[in-house]
Structure formats: C-alpha cells, structure tokens
Structure 1
C-alpha cells in the first residue's frame, strides 16, 4: 500500500515555525491500529488522515472524512492539523470548491480559502470558572509561583485554562518550563487532557495581540503543542467576554510560535484564520 503523505507547518507564513502536522490522503478507511502506528512513526503532535470516501477525488470532492491521531491516541478535535489538511487540498490538489467539509468526531468542519489564508469554521467551547483549590497541585506544577487571575475548565475539550495575572508579562509566559512528569503526577483523574496558560496581550504594541497562550498536553503524549487551534476555541470564548470583542488576534508563545485570527460569529460559531506552509511531500509505503 502506498499513501501520499505531507508535512505542513500550520499557523505560520514561513517554514519551520507554527505547528507541524503530518497529513495522509486515504482512499478508504484503514484499521484503527494502522492509523495509530503511522501517527507514532511520524511522531508529531498530530497526524491527520483525510479520507476520500464518496468524494470523486481530492481535487473535485467537497466532503471528506478527517481523523486526528497523536503519537498515543485519537483525539476529537485538532485545529492545526485541520488547517494543514485543507492546505494540502487547496494548495497542492487545487481543490475546485469554494469550501471543503470535513466529517469529524466534532461534527462537520468547514474550511474555505481567502487569499493566502484559510478560514476554519469551528465550535466555540467557552470555559467555566473553577475553584483554584481543586487544582492547587497542578497549578503549582504548571506556573510555579506566578500570580493567577482565573482558572477555567472546558468539559467538551477537557482543557484547563489558567490566566496569569495582568502584573505578569509575555516573558513570564515564555519562561515557563513545566515538567511533563510533574503534570502527569498532579492530574490522574482523566478529567484534563491539556493545560492552556494565557495572558492578556499588549494591544498598544504592534501587531496588537489581544492575548498570548501556551499549551501543555503530556496526557496525550505532547509535552507542549506549538500552536493549538482547539485551545483557541476555549480561549476565544473567555477573552471575548473579558475584552468585549468578537474579533481578536492571538499569538501562541511556543519556541516555534504562531498567529491566529479569531472571530466569533453571530451564530455562536468561531472562525479561526491562519496560513500554512507545505514543506515536505512523499509516499508512505506499508
């Protein structure tokens, strides 16, 4: 069996930044253990599988299956690998449709092309405030002694969001070095799959980011995810309420870094806009 495979840097205008994802184009569904083996072999935060199914081909079809696997497990929602998958269809396969629809565990996800960018129609997962004491050990493992403003939880994504106090700055966020083992020891209930640390942006400085973030997910085999679309379905709802804005510009402060444009629509869905760079293409032989 030969499977076309690509490596795509998502949420970036230049190669080797943003978040890399592997994208495989699949004619028909594979066995689950094969998906997982391929994802483990690629060893990126996510490997996406675009499944042709009933579509005519990858250039003319408008509806495809889409599944995402970390090196350890299948996940229900992934933003950067969705962006990467759409980039392969639009940029390489020259898909003729104004938008493509991905059938996923999180429902139908629409992606359309706008100039050099791709716009993803995603669910909004606004988190709920939590009692600090319930997560005391985990907070200590993630942010140490830095002061925090809010702790919120999104049950639909299993993400815990920690907002640093406004007395902190971007350098405090960038300097965080939580140890994966400490995080895993601090949370063993299965309730949390990743921790998102966020900070209010410096809007007066160019380009005027509304907020910053980082995302740690050792529970699914990802010590730190460089740029996380699904985390922004949580962050967008929180910061929209705090900033009284529906359009926001966000930056994820990993070592690779990535920029996301966010807009909460009137129907309650979230548009996430980003760019992507296809840096590798080849054939997986099994």
Structure 2
C-alpha cells in the first residue's frame, strides 16, 4: 500500500478495532509485494502506534508468502524496533526478533498493579523490561495453568493502579508442566489497556521478554510456550545470543478491499 498520513493509519486501526493493525509498504518503486524482499512495517492499536508486535508481523509475512506468492526465502521488515526477518519453515513462519531481558524488581514498587491484576495470589518474582515497558509478574509454582486462565483483571482497575507511564503492558506467567503433553515450558497472558488492548491473544513482543526470563530460569535455549487467552496460541522459541526466533503458524481468514476516499476520489488498498 502507499504511504498514508499518520492520522489515517490511526483511524483505520481504530476502525479495525483489533489488537494491532499492520501496514506494509514497498521500499523500492521497482518492486511489488510479490517480488520485493524488503518492506516497511508499522503497527497500530486502536489508540496508538507501537514499537514491536509479533502476531501482526506473522500476519504480514503470511500475506506476502501465501497471498502474494512472494518469491524470496527471507523477508526483511524495517520497523521502529530495527530490522526484523521472517522465513518459512515447513508450515510455520519464523520471526527473528530482538531479545529483551527484564530486570528483577522490588514487588513493593508495583503493589497496586499486582493487586489489581492477580489479587492475593502468591507471587514468585516481579521483573521489568525498560526497553519495552513490559512488567512481568510470575506466579508461584504452586499456581498452574488453570489459575492463570481464571484471572479476569479489569482494564479500568489496571489503568488506575498504574498511570505513571512506566508500564505499557502487563505479562502474567507461570511455569509449565513438562510432564504433560505437549510439554509447555511456561504459560502466559498479556494485558495492555495502556495502549488500547484489554488483552492481547498471542503476543510475540511479550515473548522477547518471556523468552529471556524463562531461558535463564530453566537453563534452556529452545522452549515451547503457550499464551492462554481465549484465542490463545503456541509459540516455539529459540535464543540466539541477543536475538530470539519465534515460530508460529498463520491462517488467512478474510480477504477484502479497503476503499479510502482522497479529495473526493476513491482509492483501493489492501
């Protein structure tokens, strides 16, 4: 699609009303979506532009590979988080993302938001990633997946409990049960009402933080994770130095044409 005005990107994302809407642009005028290997990529929630998004990157690559039949083995996206690469591996798409290590925090500094999110559930550890402004709350290992899925934090309460701007996303996580199939290493949920997303279904950007955290705790470079939202999903993770590969599958559900009106003349974009 052509470059649009900033406010138009935001209006389209608000109208789509999904966690994130992705916008892809060709970088070279001589290339199109089928032949190009490098693209611009931006992500907008219904209320704001964000710096990193996993599932919208996965979706963007899926459209290029599956719908546009892009002939390149690797796609490069220029984003606010630098260059992100995506390639195909069997039925999966593998995203090369930056690794964002969180730092352990004093729980007392985040008492209000923890209370609003998990009530009186026992906390193992609280970490914060300054780069992504994500707060990670790990529940005690006595808590299992069912405890995590039963949580229902209220967006308004989260917003009231933390309005300083230091937190843009709240990750709640528990250790997995490796003895049960398929042997998930950890589970998580992600809440981001600060950017207009009450709960994100499957969050690649959160796993740049989760991957760094759980790799250190479990002593593993390869992990299998599951995000337990209503529309949850499985993620395969592999750490490579300061980067992390996040693999997942994508399915095209809808195809359509968006008609935009510019100075009285219709323009179509995809």
Specify if TM > 0.5. yes
* 1:76 counterpart residue number: 51
1:254 and 2:229 correspond: yes
How far apart, CA to CA, are the structure 1 residues paired with 2:27 and 2:259?
Answer: 21
* 1:49 counterpart residue number: 23
How far apart, CA to CA, are the structure 1 residues paired with 2:56 and 2:83?
Answer: 15
How far apart, CA to CA, are the structure 2 residues paired with 1:31 and 1:256?
Answer: 32
How far apart, CA to CA, are the structure 2 residues paired with 1:71 and 1:235?
Answer: 25
1:90 and 2:65 correspond: yes
* 2:257 counterpart residue number: 283
- What SS does the corresponding residue of 1:35 show, helix, strand or coil? helix
How far apart, CA to CA, are the structure 1 residues paired with 2:142 and 2:157?
Answer: 26
How far apart, CA to CA, are the structure 2 residues paired with 1:108 and 1:275?
Answer: 21
- What SS does the corresponding residue of 1:254 show, helix, strand or coil? coil
Report deviation, 1:257.
1.1
Report deviation, 1:268.
2.1
- What SS does the corresponding residue of 2:64 show, helix, strand or coil? helix
How far apart, CA to CA, are the structure 2 residues paired with 1:63 and 1:205?
Answer: 41
* 1:213 counterpart residue number: 188
Over 2 Å off, 4+ runs: none
* 1:161 counterpart residue number: 136
1:237 and 2:195 correspond: no
* 2:121 counterpart residue number: 146
The one of the two structures with greater contact order (alpha-carbon pairs below 8 A, sep at least 6) is: 1
Report deviation, 1:52.
1.2
Number of residue pairs the alignment of both structures matches: 259
- 1:145-176 per-residue CA deviation (whole Å, 9 max, x = no partner) reads 11010000001110000000001111110000
Match of 1:172 among 128, 139, 147: 147
How far apart, CA to CA, are the structure 2 residues paired with 1:183 and 1:268?
Answer: 31
- What SS does the corresponding residue of 2:34 show, helix, strand or coil? coil
* 1:133 counterpart residue number: 108
How far apart, CA to CA, are the structure 2 residues paired with 1:39 and 1:262?
Answer: 29
Taking structure 1 as the reference length, the TM-score comes to 0.90
How far apart, CA to CA, are the structure 2 residues paired with 1:258 and 1:126?
Answer: 22
- 1:232-266 per-residue CA deviation (whole Å, 9 max, x = no partner) reads 0000000000000000000000011100000001x
Once superposed, what is the RMSD of the aligned Cα atoms?
Answer: 0.6
How far apart, CA to CA, are the structure 2 residues paired with 1:203 and 1:66?
Answer: 36
How far apart, CA to CA, are the structure 2 residues paired with 1:83 and 1:101?
Answer: 12
- What SS does the corresponding residue of 1:89 show, helix, strand or coil? helix
- What SS does the corresponding residue of 2:251 show, helix, strand or coil? strand
* 1:20 counterpart residue number: none
